[in-house]
Chain A
């Protein structure tokens, strides 16, 4: 009965590859987010979707493309991976208009 789940938990890949991270929530929320946490633990919003529509796009490179097939899912596809993409990526969800967000366990991406 996990609330916000992400797959995979760990992802190790070579520079230049394309990879996807999946996120699902079963909380009945209508808003989902992707955050990036770097090696210094800085946590920064990347994208936000409300009812499958893009609400926030924080000047993330075009190589990152979120996709929301429905309100319960928000996937993150990354093209042409670079060393600097190595980080922990967190998915979160909330109800629109409510500020408390519920986070997934994170996906640790390592680009070699």
Chain B
């Protein structure tokens, strides 16, 4: 399967704590993206990191990428109840198709 793997599958934390999710993928990539999906809603793009970057920040989000290990992590600092959602990584291999391959997702629950 081309599907990337994410772990943990589910994560429950208290408000104010940090949440870390990991993503592993199988093929070489052009970039890796993280998306959030609230229950019953569509996916929302959070952040994109290119294959020549090792770390990127956006607000309370920090993404790292290790292409030698084919893995990425998403850190959400000072979590809020509104961060409760499923988080997916998606890899883009470049080329002529704009194709994204999604990971299996991490369900994050932030308890108030």
Contacts and interface: CB of A to CB of B under 8 A. Distances in A.
A56 B104 contact: no
| Most chain B beta carbons < 10 A, residue from A4, A31, A43 | A43
Nearest to B103: A43
Contact of A48 (B3, B33, B98): B98
B45 interface: yes
Q: Which interface class (under 10, 10 to 19, 20 to 34, 35 or more) fits B? A: 20 to 34
A48 B97 contact: yes
B81 interface: no
Contacts of B99: 45, 48, 56
| Most chain A beta carbons < 10 A, residue from B30, B43, B92 | B43
A45 B91 CA distance: 12
Given A99-B92, A100-B33, A44 B43 contact: no
Nearest to A108: B40
B41 A55 contact: no
B42 A42 contact: no
B97 A55 contact: yes
Interface of A: 4, 31, 40-45, 48, 50, 55-56, 90, 92, 94, 96-106
